[in-house]
Amino acid sequence: MDYGTSLADIEKARENIAGTVVRTPTVPSLSLTRQAGIPVSLKLEHTQVTGSFKLRGAANALATLSEDARAKGVVAVSTGNHGRAVAHAAKVAGVKAVICLSELVPANKVEAIRALGAEVHITGRSQDEAEKEALRLEQEGMTFISPFDHKDVIAGQGTLGLEMLEDMPEVENVVVPLSGGGLLSGIALAIKARRPDVRLVGVTMSRGAAMYESLKAGLPVEVEEVESLADSLGGGIGLENRYTFAIVRNLVERCLLVEEDELAEAVRHAYREEQQVLEGGAAAGIAALLSGRLKPNGPTVLVLSGRNLDMDQHCRLVCGDSSAAKEAFHA
Ligand SMILES: *Cc1c(COP(=O)(O)O)cnc(C)c1O
């Protein structure tokens, strides 16, 4: 089946982005191995440059631009991490970038993007409204880089899959935070091409789970966007979804939901037991494991996808007991 992106595209992406991204480690988690009773490792992708995996896809998309497109610049719409990644990748490539955001995006993420030298346009109360502004700029000649539904972005995210297989060849389950599905699609294409027996699991928050609801409906559907600790997992998959819906539907064994308090507990666990600072969405795999919603029975890698959250919010989450942490988040 042709999904638009091949293993060769992912291997090429790896060469394209080598100078811009770091190769992140996959390390055994002693605390989660003990709790789950199977070997659990963590792919520390939150330690990526710009604080999330999004730089891989963005850097690959920038690397494949024509001279004419480079001259006109790129535009992106993003809950934060993709915008940050495109801004940084564009700066490294010497290309102008405009990032379109909704009013729901946390202030720390907006500032981080401005600091990277990109122009920021803030419009509307949802990702979809911010997208309209981006499409307007695309009409004016800029190149639109989708955060997930884009061949070069999917190939870039797939490079994570190659690294995990090299570092943990005995892996049987790979657990990935899921929103638009670019990350999960890239990883699925890379891993299934080499190891079709590895099981892939996508995890998302129950509040506004667009891909989950679309899989259930059998076609891309819209969901209401609501505030969540996992703000980087918000947004739709696009009613005109070209790639990620088909890839996730055909290559991924299971998608499951986690609750807000489970995400909060997972962020706390990552900090207290693993000394890792994670944003809510990045802790989705840990939440699935700790809550018992996922019970894998072989070696498992959890992808930790990002660390960009407000550090005062993180402080409230990780201090005190979990009920206090929950109140702190909802306050
Ligand atoms: C974007 C993002 C995701 C989800 O990636 P998709 O490709 O949209 O599924 C997960 N975690 C973090 C930290 C992100 O920024």
pLDDT in tens, 272-318: 999 999 999 999 999 999 999 999 999 999 999 999 988 999 999 99
CA distances from 125 to 148, 159, 225, 310 (A): 20, 33, 9, 20
The average pLDDT across 205-220 equals: 94
* CB burial readout 205-233, b (16+ within 10 A) else e: bebbbbbbbbbeeeebeebebeebbbbbb
Q: Which atom of ligand 1 is nearest to the CA of 281?
A: 11
Q: How confident is the model at residue 320 (pLDDT cuts 50, 70, 90)?
A: low
Distance 327 CA to ligand 1 centre (A): 25
Lowest model confidence (mean pLDDT) among 56-60, 83-87, 219-223, 235-239: 235-239
Q: Which atom of ligand 1 is nearest to the CA of 157?
A: 7
Higher pLDDT, 241 or 323: 241
pLDDT of 331 above 50: no
Residue whose tokens read 């030298």: 117
74 three-class SS: strand
List the one residue out of 77, 299, 265 whose CA is nearest residue 173: 299
pLDDT of 324 above 90: no
Residue 124's pLDDT is 87
- Backbone phi and psi for residue 76, each to the nearest 5 degrees, phi listed first: -140, 155
How far is 280 from 306, CA to CA, in rounded Å? Answer: 9
pLDDT in tens, 148-182: 999 999 999 999 999 999 999 999 999 999 999 99
How far is 167 from 17, CA to CA, in rounded Å? Answer: 19
pLDDT in tens, 118-139: 999 999 888 778 889 999 999 9
Helices (H) and strands (E) in the chain, counts: 15, 10
What is the DSSP secondary-structure string of 221-274?
A: --------S-GGG-S---TT--SHHHHHHHH-SEEEEE-HHHHHHHHHHHHHHH
Distance 305 CA to ligand 1 centre (A): 7
Q: Which atom of ligand 1 is nearest to the CA of 307?
A: 13
Q: Is 305 near ligand 1, meaning CB less than 6 Å away?
A: yes
Has this prediction a pTM greater than 0.85?
Answer: yes
Q: Is 244 near ligand 1, meaning CB less than 6 Å away?
A: no
pLDDT of 327 above 80: no
Residue 117's pLDDT is 87
